[in-house]
Amino acid sequence: MESNRQKKIASVLQRDLVDVLQSAATQGGMRGIIISVTKVNVTVDLSIAKVYLSIFPIDKGEALIEGIQSNAALIKHELAQRTRNQLRRMPQLNFYIDDSLEYIDNIDRSLKGLDNPLKDPDSLAKRKKK
What integer is the mean pLDDT of 46-69? 87
d(CA 67, CA 72): 9
* 37 contacts 51 by C-beta, under 8 angstroms: yes
State residue 99's pLDDT score. 78
The confidence band for 121, taking pLDDT boundaries of 50, 70 and 90, is: low
Cis preceding linkage at 57, omega within 30: yes
Distance CA 115, CA 68 (A): 33
Residue 34 is predicted with a pLDDT of 81
Superfamily of domain 4-98: K homology (KH) domain (3.30.300.20)
What pairs with residue 37 in β-bridges?
53
Note the pLDDT tens digit of each residue in 22-33: 887 777 777 778
Positions of CATH 3.30.300.20 in the chain = 4-98
